[in-house]
Amino acid sequence: MTMPNIPEMSKTFDFAESEPRLYKYWESNGWFKPEVAGVDAKPFVIAIPPPNVTGELHLGHVMFVSLEDLMIRYERMRGKAALWIPGTDHAGIATQLGVEKMLRNEGTSREEIGREEFLHRTWEWKEKYGGAIVNQLRRMGASVDWDRERFTLDESLSVAVREAFITLWDQGLIYRGPRLINWSPGLQTAVSDVEVERAEEQATLYYFKYPIEGGEYIPVATTRPETILGDTAVAVHPEDERYKHLIGKTAYVPMLNRPIPVIADEYVDREFGTGALKITPAHDFNDYEIAQKFNLPMISIMDKKAAINENGGPYTGLDRFAARKKLWADMEAMGLTIKTEAHTLIIPRTQRGGEIVEPMISEQWFVKMEPLAAKAIEAVRSGQIKIVPERFEKVYFNWLENIKDWCISRQLWWGHRIPAFYCENGHITVERGGPVKCATCGSRHLTQDPDVLDTWFSSGLWPFSTLGWPQQTPDLARYYPTDVLETGYDILFFWVARMIMMGLWFTDEIPFHTVYLHGLVRDENGNKMSKSKGNVIDPLITMDKYGTDALRFTLLTGGTPGNDQNLAESRVEYSRNFGNKLWQIAKFVTSNLGDNPPTEKPDPKGLSTPDRWILSRVNGLVATVQRLFDNHQYGEAGWQIQSFVWDEFADWYVEISKNALYSTDEHQKQITRGILLHTLETSLKLLHPYMPFVTEEIWRHLPGERKPLIISQWPTAWYSDDKAEADMNTIKDLIVKVRNIRSEYGVEPGKRITAMAFGAFDLLEANANVFARLCNVEKIARLEGGTPEQSAAIVSGDVTLYLPLAGMVDFAAERERLNKELANVAAQIEKSEKMLGNEGFIARAKPEVVARERTKLAELTQTRDALQERLTALPV
């Protein structure tokens, strides 16, 4: 590992060259594997949210990779056996749609080529395009263990899926039957409740007359006139005086003249529409419930393509929208229509595909969710599982407490085929290993159910199926339960809740103890990125331009847990600049380390104020970062590190260090080198989880025998020096004020000036070279008595610094400047005195807060007095 001839650092960090090289360096040495930590190490495990195998990389992927890689790298450096399990999801509908599109372009279809050939083609497609997203994980620096990569259709995961299904079946928690479900006519499959997206849209409300026996009619309103064909009742409110006399009479379905009853139910809202409701149980969820209550027949009027079926009389064969139009026209001709009006309503559309979902009666498989949900609720309620940010626990409870049975069957071919078999008598057999004969009648003529399972059924098993379950593998024993589940809040129901339910149900353990939810990445104006809007930021292009580290750092510091963040390119640019800053610091440090670079941690004893200051600050930073990480405040921690590195280390300490480095004092030089190196090393460690590439590359240029940064030891705070920090604050304050004066008076930057000091002379004298370097004050003299007339005065606490500026001082301007400062100080004093004069404050505030306030007031008073003195002495 020793690198005796470390090449000089290049002018800038070449991320394009370094990133793939470093990734290979880490991966080929096995540092992504938990085994690097040794057998005694405590595991830390994250199962990756598996991206769709043929999906395209978007910022959501970069977001989760950045966060999870941060956690993994941090825990790895803390000595844990960090395991990040990679993998991909077969994504049933999305992938099947992609392949079907390809087939269409070839002039064929899945129906034409058949199931077997279709699956063959889909696997080919997966082999061809499935690698892209996986390679992009490498591009982002994801330190996952590739030896443990999984795919939801792997044989071992398929075994887990069948085991889960059969277990639920044996427990009576899976059932099959005709139910009203969400049907996607375009995809020709059932979809679950969570896959339906509802949005307000402009539509029409149609008012018409429902003929009643005896020549009367009830006015009814509907948004879907074609469903009239499936009506099996008309409902009114039992106490509605307008219609009360019609309850129990017979109504006739328009155009079909099918007799149906007029019923009364309190569900009907008298205020809405006409106050009368048509009941179409086979095509509406509310009507379905009412029909069950009243034992009404259910008449399905549509086929799988949502065209009117044979129950639609003269409309048979028409598409649902064509039927709507024709039926309405026919009713109009019959004088049955009243009016139409514009109406805003909620339209359900499929998450994939986007066409309008049709509620239909269909034979599907369901899981009874209440027993599973009860356990999942308890796990979070008891605190075994913590959701970050906490407010999502409420959302989680609300969903689980109102959970409905899960429709798990999909009329697709790409996915896990339902392990249920039918004989010619219609009996169902579900057995491990695949049955050879019917469990009921013994028939050997079995056919498997054609449907596949919802993709989320297999992803629900992900944290344990990837580790070998149901086999009791060593990995399952060592790495399950996992630790953190990190993902976007948008899949809390789809995925997170189901993993918790299935994990608890099948393994009897929580699958993870912490759920960390991040927000969505939007464009810089807060709009959702979409291809149609053309505002999509392509992460690949961004990484090409600014480097992976820059994009990662931007996303990690760009928001807070659970909240969406707006991404502006200017922020990525800033992150790139920060990486450059770090590179330049390192370049400076490494080129000034001399022939025998220090190897020991610096000893603060006897060091100068700036030396002790930076050591105290960097250790304070370590403590701060630790506290923030403990609370999942990764963004704030990133800013703290950035601010230290740039604003304190680079802008102050590196500048100050030049005094020693450019001197001939070998002892002081060596001390300074040690502090520079230690501060840089610590900064690199803290920053590595955010910017893995640039930090590791710099690390390789540091001298001495050292472990690679990725597996180096996470720092702990070991030093704190309040005195040095206070003294340095005084020095910094004075320097900034000198610069300010120079700027205001237009003193040429190169011009050296002198100063006379009153108070704290020892501190100033000891740091005279700091003033010389940072504000070009070449000499500070002790002021013995009187005040120099031709000078500008600077006051900071008990120190007054006079800058003799012969011929440059405008006394009127100086007076104005001092008066302004005095007013400012006076205002602060007033506030402080008021606080300290308040008995409640003295009695109830924490003692250290009161003490701090007293110190502050004393300093302010000194400043005020000095300012007044100077104003009095100022020539008129």
User: Does 580 interact with RNA (rule: CB under 7 A)?
Assistant: yes
Residues 246-275 that bind RNA (CB under 7 A): 267-275
Tokens of 432: 């491990």
Dist CA 253 CA 236 (whole Å): 16
Helix (H, G, I), strand (E, B) or coil at 76: helix
Nearest distance in Å: CB 591, RNA: 6
DSSP notation for 152-212? TTSHHHHHHHHHHHHHHHHTT-EEEEEEEEEEETTTTEEE-GGGEEEEEEEEEEEEEEEEB
Dist CA 390 CA 392 (whole Å): 5
Q: Which CB contacts under 8 angstroms, 24+ apart, belong to 376-380? A: 376/400, 376/497, 376/500, 376/501, 376/504, 377/401, 379/500, 379/504, 379/510, 380/500
CB-nearer residue toward RNA: 122 or 274: 274
Render the burial of 163-188: b for 16+ CB within 10 Å, e for the rest.
bbbbebbeeebbebeebbbbbbbbbe
Dist CA 18 CA 583 (whole Å): 13
CB-nearer residue toward RNA: 149 or 833: 833
Size of the site for RNA (CB under 7 A): 91
Residues 646-665 that bind RNA (CB under 7 A): 646, 650-651, 654-655, 662
Nearest distance in Å: CB 185, RNA: 19
Residues 585-644 that bind RNA (CB under 7 A): 585, 587-588, 591, 631, 633, 635-636, 639, 643
| DSSP letter, residue 367 | E
Q: Which of 739, 815, 817, 854 binds RNA (CB under 7 A)?
A: 739
Residue span binding RNA (CB under 7 A) among the ranges 190-198, 406-414, 611-619, 759-767: 190-198
Q: Which of 31, 146, 252, 574 binds RNA (CB under 7 A)?
A: 574
Q: Which of 526, 534, 785, 875 binds RNA (CB under 7 A)?
A: 526
CB-nearer residue toward RNA: 130 or 275: 275
CB 429 within 8 A of CB 169: no
Helix (H, G, I), strand (E, B) or coil at 494: helix
User: Does 514 interact with RNA (rule: CB under 7 A)?
Assistant: no
Helical residues (DSSP H) of 253-407, grouped into ranges: 285-294, 320-333, 370-381, 391-401
CB-nearer residue toward RNA: 80 or 742: 742
CB-nearer residue toward RNA: 29 or 577: 577
Q: Which of 167, 204, 223, 787 binds RNA (CB under 7 A)?
A: 223
CB-nearer residue toward RNA: 111 or 830: 830
User: Does 177 interact with RNA (rule: CB under 7 A)?
Assistant: no
Residue span binding RNA (CB under 7 A) among the ranges 220-228, 410-418, 455-463, 498-506: 220-228
Let me know if 97 is exposed, middle or buried by CB neighbors in 10 A (0-12, 13-18, 19+). Answer: middle
User: Does 201 interact with RNA (rule: CB under 7 A)?
Assistant: no
Residue span binding RNA (CB under 7 A) among the ranges 134-142, 152-160, 304-312, 519-527: 519-527
CA 533 vs. chain centroid, Å, equals 22
CB-nearer residue toward RNA: 570 or 599: 570
Helix (H, G, I), strand (E, B) or coil at 686: helix
CB 486 within 8 A of CB 73: no
Nearest distance in Å: CB 841, RNA: 3
Residues 802-861 that bind RNA (CB under 7 A): 824, 828, 831-832, 835, 838, 840-841, 844-846, 849, 852, 856
Nearest distance in Å: CB 573, RNA: 7
DSSP notation for 535-591? -PPPHHHHHHHH-HHHHHHHHHHS--TTS-EE--HHHHHHHHHHHHHHHHHHHHHHT
Residues 64-83 that bind RNA (CB under 7 A): none
Q: Which of 524, 538, 765, 810 binds RNA (CB under 7 A)?
A: 524
Dist CA 227 CA 459 (whole Å): 37
User: Does 740 interact with RNA (rule: CB under 7 A)?
Assistant: yes
Render the burial of 702-737: b for 16+ CB within 10 Å, e for the rest.
bbeeeeebbbbebbebebebeebbebbebbbebbeb
Let me know if 857 is exposed, middle or buried by CB neighbors in 10 A (0-12, 13-18, 19+). Answer: middle
Residue 597, sorted as left (phi over 0), alpha (psi -120 to 50) or beta, turns out to be beta
| DSSP letter, residue 347 | E
Instruction: Using alpha carbons, list the distances in angstroms from residue 826 to 4, 324, 820, 864, 871.
Output: 60, 79, 10, 7, 14
Q: Which of 434, 743, 765, 858 binds RNA (CB under 7 A)?
A: 743
Q: Which of 54, 95, 222, 362 binds RNA (CB under 7 A)?
A: 222
Q: Which of 202, 447, 472, 525 binds RNA (CB under 7 A)?
A: 525
CB-nearer residue toward RNA: 539 or 559: 559
Residues 531-570 that bind RNA (CB under 7 A): 558-561, 563, 565-566, 568, 570
CB-nearer residue toward RNA: 66 or 482: 66
Nearest distance in Å: CB 628, RNA: 9
CB 254 within 8 A of CB 282: no
Task: With CA atoms as reference, report the closest residue to 78 among 121, 55, 112, 44.
Answer: 44
Query: CB neighbours of 643 closer than 8 A, spacing ≥ 6?
Result: none
User: Does 790 interact with RNA (rule: CB under 7 A)?
Assistant: no
Instruction: Using alpha carbons, list the distances in angstroms from residue 289 to 180, 403, 556.
Output: 10, 17, 48
CB-nearer residue toward RNA: 443 or 535: 535
Task: With CA atoms as reference, report the closest residue to 33 among 151, 150, 143, 137.
Answer: 143
CB 126 within 8 A of CB 421: no
Residues 395-454 that bind RNA (CB under 7 A): 395, 398-399, 402
CB-nearer residue toward RNA: 129 or 646: 646
Residues 290-309 that bind RNA (CB under 7 A): none
Nearest distance in Å: CB 693, RNA: 14
CB-nearer residue toward RNA: 167 or 828: 828
Residue span binding RNA (CB under 7 A) among the ranges 313-321, 580-588, 670-678, 694-702: 580-588
CB 41 within 8 A of CB 78: no
User: Residues 687-726: x/- map of binding to RNA (CB under 7 A)?
Assistant: ----------------------------------------
CB-nearer residue toward RNA: 426 or 526: 526
Nearest distance in Å: CB 719, RNA: 19
Helix (H, G, I), strand (E, B) or coil at 522: strand
Dist CA 701 CA 6 (whole Å): 6
Q: Which of 134, 221, 593, 818 binds RNA (CB under 7 A)?
A: 221
Residues 338-377 that bind RNA (CB under 7 A): 345-346
CB-nearer residue toward RNA: 129 or 399: 399
The alpha carbon dihedral of 362, 365, 370, 374 has a sign of: negative
Nearest distance in Å: CB 807, RNA: 19
- Taking the CA of residue 242 as centre, how many other CA atoms within 13 Å lie in the half-sphere pointing to its CB? 12
CB-nearer residue toward RNA: 623 or 845: 845
Residue span binding RNA (CB under 7 A) among the ranges 94-102, 116-124, 678-686, 740-748: 740-748
Nearest distance in Å: CB 214, RNA: 24
CB-nearer residue toward RNA: 109 or 729: 729
Residues 748-767 that bind RNA (CB under 7 A): 749
User: Does 391 interact with RNA (rule: CB under 7 A)?
Assistant: yes
Tokens of 159: 């075994």
